[in-house]
Amino acid sequence: MANELIFAALADPTRRRVFEQLAARPSSVTALARTLPVSRPAVSQHLKVLSDAGLVTVRAEGTRRIYRAAPDQLADLRDWLDRMWSNALNAFAEAAEKERQK
Amino acid sequence: MANELIFAALADPTRRRVFEQLAARPSSVTALARTLPVSRPAVSQHLKVLSDAGLVTVRAEGTRRIYRAAPDQLADLRDWLDRMWSNALNAFAEAAEKERQK
DNA sequence: GCTTACGGTAAGTCATGGCTAACGAATTGA
DNA sequence: TCAATTCGTTAGCCATGACTTACCGTAAGC
């Protein structure tokens, strides 16, 4: 499943904070690192993971690199979520039906 | 954020497979282990994590314990998803607006 | 009671990955 | 050209966690 990269990317709390900040507003690597309790290289590595998962995009601006959240990939996550939801509800309905037939 | 347990629980691929199977149909621990490439204790440990996250519920049935998916907790995940989505879209719209004003 | 199936827990191993420190490349401005 | 800023990358350390083997408690069937 192609979702694997997305799940892995969003699994780490620090990485989620990076993504949440980028969803609020595009930002450079150093600006992100200033607001987080980790070093700049750490942020850079997290951004690589997010980028490989297609969750962020980059745009060079002079010597700085502006990262942005790319919400499209979240659609896969939503699809998985909806599928699980309806499956679970169906299973529950079936169980209730069996129960009723007794 | 209370989502932390949910993200952590769904981060592992094996654990997601366990949850997906339970979403399709309730099952015992041994039955789950038979369909997965890991041992029964491993499944048991995964179920504990899923249970702590509120993603599954248990029901004792004789000597067996039947696990079921509990879709309610997925709502938190959906909320986070929707928030990220709209934030990213807003940020994109603002950027487009600034671009247009030039 | 004795055995058998089921399942949680403990102990220990091993791979994964998140982090920092250090270095190198590229752009900007003096 | 030289210094300063911004980033990516690498090496290495260390904590986390996924897994198996072994063990113990418990409920059902002979």
Mean pLDDT by 10 residues, chain B (102 residues): 86 97 97 97 98 96 96 91 92 73 55
State the CB neighbour count (10 A cutoff) for residue B25. 14
Give the minimum alpha-carbon distance from B40 to chain A in angstroms, rounded to a whole number. 23
In angstroms, the CA B93 to CA B99 distance is: 10
User: Quick one: which of A65, A72, A59 has its CA closest to A23?
Assistant: A72
Tell me the two tokens of residue B17: 């497979």
pLDDT tens sequence across A12-69: 999 999 999 999 999 999 999 999 999 999 999 999 999 999 999 999 999 999 999 9
Q: How confident is the model at residue A1 (pLDDT cuts 50, 70, 90)?
A: low
CA distances A102 to A58, A88, B27, Å, are 60, 22, 20
Tell me the two tokens of residue A91: 């299973």
At residue A95, the pLDDT reads 73
Do residue B20 and residue A81 have CB atoms under 8 angstroms apart? no
CA distances B31 to A74, A93, B18, B34, B52, Å, are 32, 21, 11, 5, 21
Tell me the two tokens of residue B64: 């067996």
Nucleotide with minimal C1' distance from the CA of B29 is: C7
Collapsing DSSP to helix, strand or coil, A99 comes out as helix
Q: Which helix (H) or strand (E) holds B68?
A: strand B64-69
pLDDT tens sequence across B35-61: 999 999 999 999 999 999 999 999 999
By the CB < 8 Å criterion, does B30 face chain A? no
Which bases of chain C are contacted by protein, using any atom under 7 A from a CB?
5-10, 17-22, 26-28
Q: Delineate the domains of chain B, giving CATH numbers in brackets.
A: 3-101 (1.10.10.10)
Instruction: Report whether B51 contacts B69 (CB < 8 A).
Output: no
Q: How confident is the model at residue A2 (pLDDT cuts 50, 70, 90)?
A: low
CA distances B46 to A101, B51, B67, Å, are 33, 8, 12
